[in-house]
Amino acid sequence: MKHPAQVIVRPLITEKGTMLRMAYNQYLFEVADDATKIDIKHALKQLYNVDAVKVRTMWVKPKPKRVGLRSKGYTKAWKKAVVTLKPNQTIEDFNL
């Protein structure tokens, strides 16, 4: 089993994430590429001491990016997790 800090890369604090948190008690995280839903659930329990009701994962596709005049490249692909918590639980890192 992986260490929780290797599973959850960083919390995503965005406008959409704030609306999801206020309306549905859902939180967004960038997670490791090989992280499973069960790994994410256990990592949240150990890092933030919260119980996840539902974990949904998705891949964010790379976007084209220009570097210089003629050089083209892409941003990296990464995995995002949307975690739904029990109604009475919150994560303090998001309350900025």
Q: Note whether 28 and 81 are within 8 A (CB).
A: yes
Give residue 67's pLDDT.
83
What are the pLDDT digits (tens) for 12-56?
999 999 999 999 999 999 999 999 999 999 999 999 999 999 999
Coarse DSSP helix, strand, coil percentages of the chain, rounded to the nearest 5 percent: 30, 35, 35
Q: Domains in the chain, please, with CATH?
A: 4-88 (3.30.70.330)
What are the pLDDT digits (tens) for 53-89?
999 999 999 999 988 888 899 999 999 999 999 999 9
pTM over 0.85: yes
Residue written as token pair 């900025």? 96
